Structure 1
Amino acid sequence: MINQFRNLNPINLLILFAYTFFMRMAIFADLPSSLQFEFLEPYTKFFIQIPLQNTFSPAGNVFFAGIIIFGQAILFNRVVNNHGLLSKPGYLPALLYVTASSLFMPFLILSPTLICNFLMIWIMDKFLKMGKASNAIMTMFDVGMIIAIGTLIYFPFIVMLAMLWFTLLLYRSFSWREWISGLVGFLTIFFFVGVYYYWNDNLSMFYKIWLPLTNKFPSVFKINYNDYLVLVPVAVMIVLATLQLRENFFRSFISTRKAFQMLFFMFLISIVSFYTKPDFRLYHFLLCVPPGAVLLAYYFSNAKKRWFYESLFLVLVFAIQYFLFV
């Protein structure tokens, strides 16, 4: 499977499509009686009404979620290949994206984070282009607006604002215009949101949008470790990928080094942003899939012993299927 996807063979697109729905067998075998799809945050529904609650049947919900994942995998694969993050272009990024997007049952249904991953991939592409740009002001402004749109869909996406400055530290020498342009782009969207609230005499509600930012980061976590055993093979792959990346780090292009540092920060920020939503669901961690899948693809792109990396991937696939079914 891994060796097949190391190449840019068009037949891999058909295999990937079949694989996407193969990884969803468990939920199709035991569909819930109903599935709710909340597309926008409550403060966004005040001025944008999209009645999606009863639009999809449970089967339709899972089917369209699979189609979205497949489409995102293709876009993600193109971004990774265009920026030369792996040793050679192939469909490994798409394969690992679909695999990582199937780890848990909540990942298999329509959710706001699933929609936000289109924006995550777009932001990744923008950031990866930054090193080659002579001026990053407009790029930062655009990314700020993208983050604002993502925040209208799913509030924890606002924490991606930190990526604006992490990325500038990595890629650019200091320019105050670049450092504020992303924030200006973000505030531009919310300025119009605030104006709408003001026109409708609900400015006090507009202030409440930002209250989750004052939440304290939780010091105690209630975790059922049996639910997360599927992450064991993922953790092994991440460790192996990190060792591989460390071995090749100073032999890589400077742009590649900076790209992986940027993706590492994006991965961490995606994880910790859950604190801004006290009632967050497991699907929140779908935001970790784009940066995480790059690291997984990097390992399989550079692994040498075929029997080992093919076996490791099969162990992951079987572990995912087992825990989804049980």
Structure 2
Amino acid sequence: MVALFKDRSPAAVVWLFILSFIVHSHFIVDVPVVPAGRSDGLLSVFLSNYIAPLNPVIVIFIYHAFVIIQALRINYLFNDHRMYSKNNFLAAMVYILLTGIFKEWGNLTPALIENILVIWLFAKTIRLYNNPNPKTLLFNIGLLIGIGIILYHPSALLILVAFFALTVVRPFVITEWVVLLMGVVFPYYFLASYLYLTDRLSTILLYIPNWGLNIPRTTISPAFFVTVGLILIILILGMVYSQQETRRLLIQVRKNWVVLTVMLLVMLPIPFINKGVGIDSLLLWIVPASPYMAKAFLGPKKNTLPNLMFWSLLVLALVKNWQVVP
């Protein structure tokens, strides 16, 4: 089955659509939930007011559209920047499979929509290397992060990702760091100005992340540990294959993988340091995880192990989404 996604062909795109509908086949009887009453950013307000009242069929269509578009965007981004030894659709395949691994990831949440900005941020970050006009690009990166935080507060850790990426990709220049910080603050400047003019400046705290130790509510069962274990095994295997290929890569491509590694590590504690968020917030993490896990499917010369991992992820997603096991 994995062989269908190892080539960059139009047929693989069709299979991605089919895969998304299979992974989330439970939508036939269980419509994706649109969380309401949250205070984690403007996206929650938008979803509660404008998406939740829609017909369930439209909600299902919107969910699939976001998942497939994001999967394809990640895939084209990594292929176009020669991050793999050969063009393929494995990163998109893994992204779609991961959205079905946890029940909470199969809902239409702010984290799912925010992933568009996370992918966009990485696309801009990898353009920093040898960029002739880095300050404009850095300001746009900061602006994207600032807007993202207002829309979904747990994405605030992207600030660390951006500064780490700047450290890795470019030599230290204090003005570039200041420009990046100005971009992050800029959306809050306009927001504070608007709230002041409308005599609501005291509500500014609603748009600032609420940090603190947090234990996400999720069902802890043997299936949960199997899921986490499988993800970690595939991720570690992907990192091993990535490390073996590092010496053959261009310097720019190596730095891009380093930036992705930083994003992978920095975004992992998101659900544990943002008060009130659930395991669905960890959906942001699958953006950097998917390309690495795709390496585990691309690395082996024979398809036996990749096919075993594929069917394990697919069966696990179906079993959990159809609530055969909690």
TM-score by structure 2 length?
0.89
What displacement does 1:57 show?
3.4
Kept after mapping to 2: 8 A contact 1:20/1:66? yes
Which residue identity does 2:90 align to in structure 1? L
SS of equivalent to 1:278: coil
Q: 292-301 vs 304-313, which deviates more? A: 304-313
Gaps of 5+ in 1: none
Q: Which residue is 2:110 aligned to? A: 112
Per-residue CA shift, 1:73-132, capped at 9, x if unaligned?
111111111111111112112111111222112212211111110001101111111113
Instruction: Give CA-to-partner distance per residue, 1:183-217, whole Å, 9 cap, x none.
Output: 1111111101001111122222214543614x2x4
Structure 2 residue aligned with 1:193: 191
Residue of structure 2 equivalent to 1:224: 220
| Separation in structure 2 between the aligned mates of residue 164 and residue 175 of structure 1, nearest angstrom | 14
Q: 1:116 to 1:31 in 2, by over 3 A?
A: closer
Cα 1:64–1:82 shift into 2, 3 Å: same
Check whether the contact 1:87–1:302 (CA below 8 A) recurs between aligned residues: no
Q: Quick one: structure 1 residues 207 and 63, their matched pair in 2 at CA, closer, same or farther if it must change by over 3 Å?
A: closer
Measured in 2, the distance between the counterparts of 1:30 and 1:85 equals 37
Give the gaps of 5 or more residues in structure 2: none
d(CA) in 2 for partners of 1:219, 1:19: 32
**1:171 aligns with one of 169, 172, 175:** 169
Partner of 1:6: 6
**TM-superposed deviation, 1:150:** 1.1
The 5 A counterparts of 1:88-237 are 88-207=86-205, 209-210=207-208, 212-213=210-211, 215=212, 217=213, 224-228=220-224, 229-237=226-234
Which of these residues, 207, 213, 236, is aligned with residue 239 of structure 1?
Answer: 236
Identity %: 22
How many residue pairs align between the two structures? 322
Output the CA distance in 2 between the equivalents of 1:50 and 1:230: 30
Aligned residue among 266, 290, 293 for 2:290: 293
The separation in 2 between residues aligned to 1:184 and 1:239, in whole angstroms, is: 37
1:29 and 2:26 equivalent? no
Superposed displacement of residue 233, structure 1: 2.1
Q: What is residue 301 of structure 2 aligned with on the other side?
A: 304
Q: Report deviation, 1:42.
A: 6.7
The change in CA–CA distance for 1:40 and 1:150 in structure 2 (over 3 A counts) is farther
Please state how far the C-alpha of 1:227 moved relative to its aligned partner. 4.9
- 1:225: Cα distance to partner? 4.2
Measured after TM superposition, the shift of residue 273 of structure 1 is 2.6
Whether the 8 Å CA contact 2:215–2:271 is kept in 1: the answer is: no
Partner residue of 2:321? 324
Cα 1:19/1:49, change in 2 over 3 Å: closer
Any idea what the Cα deviations from partners look like across 1:231-259, whole Å, max 9, x if unmatched? 32222111211221222223322222221
Q: CA 1:301–1:54 in 2, change beyond 3 Å: closer, same or farther?
A: closer
CA contact 1:62–1:109 (8 Å) conserved in 2: no
Query: 2-side partners of 1:92 and 1:124: how far apart?
Result: 18
SS in 2 for 1:90: coil
SS of the residue corresponding to residue 133 of structure 1 reads coil
Superposed counterparts of 1:246-257, under 5 Å: 246-257=243-254
| Distance in 2 of aligned mates of 1:242 and 1:284 | 23
Supply the distance in 2 between the matched residues of 1:220 and 1:70 (Cα, whole angstroms).
Answer: 27
Contact 1:41 1:152 in 2 (8 A): no
Kindly provide the amino acid, as one letter, of the partner of residue 226 in structure 1: P
- Which amino acid is 2:143 matched to? M
Give SS of 2:267's match: helix
